[in-house]
């Protein structure tokens, strides 16, 4: 299996995030995550590590608003220009706003901090010096995997960092800046219908936002119920698409006591929807925070359960792009990714 990975992700290393309740904590989405996965893959006899090509901005701007991408590109240098103390301690500082837009009544501000509050959904997507470059490269990993599958590979894995599924058309949040899986799915959709299955612990609200009006990409998210879990405002069962996309999005909110059996039962419902849609390609947003000992999750999927999830998805027999999303138990992260991917070999 081709594994698209770049060490450029190391450039994105925020020292902190602001957690629930305003607590400043070390950033959970740390470079160690990708390193652990890479180390596990290098111990197999089937992983072919590939450096991604540069696909340029066109496939990114096909998904994200240009003004938002421009903000990501310039935010750090603007921040240094208006905040000299940030330059003196760049390894410990980050751009985060204190004021957030209520979008139903929002004007796009001209000031940097105003635009930060306009484009940033929360305090868990800090922007540091290497964020934009890492996000671009992460998107290129997903596009590289999509290109490999379109050219005949049965499956490919994009070892993306930072992840992407909380990034909407014009917002970052939840560690996500560019929506890697959505960029790959949109790129593939030029060649045929695409199903995008999100198995991350948290609802793929950004992916939902991007494809909500479209009928050519069927999006499904299986996740912890947003009634008690991030992102709180999206991911409910009654959100099913809009306009041309009505019926082409499904959310499957799960309770906090979901175990392997309950998860697999829900997965079968989702897979039946994909079969009925009859896509040419499948993109999987693969979050390993469904793991039973993940520090940011409550679902109780074991490593064996994750392997079975992979097996049931692979049985669809579709050309598949697997895109890395969340997963924050670093001790088990590599093993869990291997369990999932082995089903596609």
Residues known to be catalytic: 166
Whole-angstrom distance, CA of residue 193 vs CA of residue 209: 18
Residue 252: strand, helix, or coil: strand
How many CA atoms lie less than 13 Å away from 29 in the CB half-sphere? 30
Task: Say how far residue 114 (Cα) sits from the centre of its chain.
Answer: 25
Per-position b or e across 200-239, b if 16+ CB within 10 A of its CB: bbbbbbbbbbbbbebebbbbbbbbbbbeebbbeebbeeeb
Residue 179: strand, helix, or coil: coil
- 192, β-bridge pairs: none
Residue 191: strand, helix, or coil: coil
Per-position b or e across 21-31, b if 16+ CB within 10 A of its CB: eeeeeebbbbb
């Amino acid at each position: 299996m081709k594994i698209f990975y770049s060490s450029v992700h190391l450039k994105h290393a925020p020292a902190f995030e602001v957690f629930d309740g305003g607590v400043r904590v070390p950033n959970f989405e740390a470079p160690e995550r990708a390193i652990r996965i890479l180390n596990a893959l290098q111990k197999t006899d089937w992983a072919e590590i590939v450096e991604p090509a540069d696909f340029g901005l066109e496939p990114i701007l096909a998904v994200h608003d240009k003004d938002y991408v421009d903000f990501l590109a310039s935010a750090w240098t603007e921040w240094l220009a208006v905040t000299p103390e940030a330059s003196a301690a760049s390894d410990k500082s980050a751009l985060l706003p204190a004021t957030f837009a209520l979008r139903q009544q929002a004007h796009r501000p001209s000031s940097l901090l105003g635009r930060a509050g306009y484009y940033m959904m929360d305090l868990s997507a800090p922007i540091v010096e290497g964020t934009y470059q890492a996000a671009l490269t992460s998107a290129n990993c997903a596009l590289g995997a999509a290109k490999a599958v379109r050219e005949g590979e049965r499956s490919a894995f994009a070892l993306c960092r930072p992840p992407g599924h909380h990034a909407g058309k014009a917002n970052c949040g939840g560690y996500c800046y560019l929506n890697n899986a959505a960029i790959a799915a949109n790129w593939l959709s030029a060649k045929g219908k695409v199903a995008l299955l999100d198995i991350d612990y948290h609802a793929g609200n950004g992916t939902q936002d991007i494809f909500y009006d479209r009928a050519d990409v069927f999006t499904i998210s299986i996740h912890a119920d947003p009634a008690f879990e991030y992102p709180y405002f999206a991911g409910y069962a009654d959100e099913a698409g809009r306009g041309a996309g009505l019926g082409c999005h499904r959310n499957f909110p799960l309770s906090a006591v979901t175990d392997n059996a309950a998860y697999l039962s829900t997965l079968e419902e989702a897979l039946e929807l994909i079969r009925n849609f009859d896509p040419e390609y499948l993109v999987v947003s693969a979050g390993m925070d469904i793991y039973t000992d993940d520090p940011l999750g409550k679902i109780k999927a074991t490593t064996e359960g994750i392997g079975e999830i992979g097996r049931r998805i692979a049985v669809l027999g579709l050309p598949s792009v697997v895109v890395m999303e969340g997963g924050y138990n670093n001790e088990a992260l590599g093993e869990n990714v291997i369990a999932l991917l082995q089903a596609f070999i």
